[in-house]
Amino acid sequence: MQYKELENCKLCSWECGVDRLAGEQGICMMGLPEVASCQLHPAPPQSYTVFTSGCSFKCLNCQNWEIAHYPRIQSKIKGVVVPESIARIGVQAVNSNAGQMIGADRFFFSGGSPTVSLPWIEEVVQYAKTFDPKMKVNFDTNGFPSRRSFQRILSFSDSLTFDIKAYNDEVHRALTGAPVEPVLTNAQEMARHRDQLWEFRILVIPNIVDLPEIQAITEFIVSLDETLPTSFLTFRPNFCLDTLLGASRKLMEEVVNLARKTGLENVHWAGFSDIPGAYPSVPQEFVEKFSHQHAAVAAFYAQRAGCLRIQRNCGMCDSKLTCDLKGYIPHQTT
């Protein structure tokens, strides 16, 4: 299981070119692909879900921060797993009584960002379809695979869940540490393969990704195809945004109404709402450095968690491998 392309890794849109097999680290900080956990999962699409470690983003709101920021955060994971082994276990799980009771019919690769583990996933899929030719595959993406990687993902996936974190580049960088252009480009390609799209997923974050940003995202999706399925997810305090107020039911209903007025036809919201928290008091020095106040809010939280740059751009940052943000331990998780 020595994947030669990891000697010059360009799986995600950072295209770092590092030799992961020799111990060099890119944004994801990963060497060989490693599995965090795997189990039957009842959430749609019902599946045998495999969570892989590492991520190309450093999102402030990360719910799976313990595996997304592994190995910087030393969490308990399975580690390196032989593809044939996990394929066999997963196929058995999907076809078991428990799997059939929840309606499972596929593998679901998530993370972190599964793009970091793409060659390993391709091998798992190959074995799984050998064991059960009817087995389906869902790939959960942050939209940041390289263009070549995204074509590879489309080639073996029956469905994709596709996150759009923000539309405005300033907001996207402040929230994730990465530029938005590769995400929007891949979203355009996704729309050309609409039958494979399970749904676009957009996390609604008060004061960061709320009504103005939602307006921009929905207008973008409508420009691609107004029938594309879209799910708005309710933010709850997590990782670096551990003290921020959770999204309210009122806000989520306003978001769906706005999306429908914009022209989206297939839209809903999901998640737990109205979790207590607070709005931040952002220093004026942050506000003055951004065109969008929502980006200033995110940047304030990023600096509080250890980011050394007001304008985030993790791929170009001299501290990208030692940044304290990647090792941040939240005061609470919800």
**Range 1-163: architecture per CATH:** Alpha-Beta Barrel (3.20)
Per-residue pLDDT, averaged over 64-80, amounts to 87
Looking at the chain, the whole-number percentage of residues with pLDDT higher than 70 is: 100
**Domain ranges, ordered by start, for the chain:** 1-163, 170-177+185-192+199-334
pLDDT in tens, 145-185: 999 999 999 999 999 999 999 999 999 999 999 999 999 99
pLDDT at 2 over 80: no
Residue-wise pLDDT tens digits, 268-306: 999 999 999 998 889 888 889 999 899 999 999 999 999
Please tell me the number of Cα atoms within 13 Å of 9 on its side-chain side: 30
- Give pLDDT, residue 303: 93
For 333, the token pair is 């998780």
Residue 1 has pLDDT above 80, yes or no: no
Residue 211 DSSP one-character state:
H
Give the whole-angstrom CA distance, residue 12 versus residue 149.
Answer: 7
pLDDT given at position 79: 85
252 pLDDT band, cuts 50/70/90, is very high
pLDDT digits (tens, 9 = 90+) for 81-111: 999 999 999 999 999 999 999 999 999 999 9
pLDDT mean over 199-226: 97
Distances (CA, A) of 138 to 38, 39, 113, 194, 276: 14, 14, 13, 14, 33
17 pLDDT higher than 90: yes
